[in-house]
Chains A and B, each alone.
Chain A
């Protein structure tokens, strides 16, 4: 294959959305902004398409979908059947050696950068268009063969029933999906969580809010526990801490992650030091300035690295929030002023 289809994150930026998908483009952009992100590489949309083409899998799936014709459009059952059939065809179809070698070479290069063998990585889907059911994330993937099968599983997720239904509904080709894959070093997470540079319920942009827990970030995002909450004034940097009792966390295992009880001595202790909080605020405010809109960012504190190298970012996107009351009020006034002239 002539065309390049694997990229280091440092090569990427937000302009590469269509090439490598949103997740990878985003990580690349964050790298450009000088943020510490876990090192890794991206498999572009072309990689998926080459796999489908070189193995003949694409043609087989397309003809299968064609044979179903209008049934596929009408019945959920036949969409479920199609999903199962496509995934079975994929499971039987190995990567061409040349492609498998390329992925393994890149993984091993990443391992050797950290002088470890079988270094744990996260394998994440990176869609160029956001599509339901297509958000596969595999944590603590260890070893080359495991990486290869997880990459293929990410690709398989484009044939989830919901993803198929979505493409049918949007009148997109059913047998194709623009999907990239991110393979990044797993951070040995001491704590993790999110920071928003706006208070989402009030639209207050003078403050940032951090939520975090011990262990991996999944426990915070899933909403299973009440995380620690820190509200920070973005100009005075005054911290208002709300430390909660954290009973459960997500930790790594030999083959992935699991939920577990938080050790007693950590339950009521804040999961972040003040200097870490301030570092999170400092960087997120810079990112907010760069993009011009409030940010919603995911962070991890690495257990093995010293401060401030231990502050690592895995996600940055525009925050969703209720516009400030004042803005909503002004909009209401503008609407009413306009209506005045209709009397």
Chain B
């Protein structure tokens, strides 16, 4: 029998994969992928708890979160395009002008 804890475990695994991507990858587009995976792990948690508690707010928040993530991807990819135009590179280590 599949229980809520199984969904939470899958969500933990996805979150771990996303954090790994953020730590180890240097390509800006791959970091966007990793952020998306983390956001989806969070959404999965919200919907799983909403199902387990029979609660409407969880699903409502998941919907809001999906919409915010879409906005964030649009702006993030715009910034990557600008950075690519400036540096001819999408490696985040090469974006040096903001380095302290």
Real binding pair: no
Which positions in A face B, CB cutoff 8 Å?
none
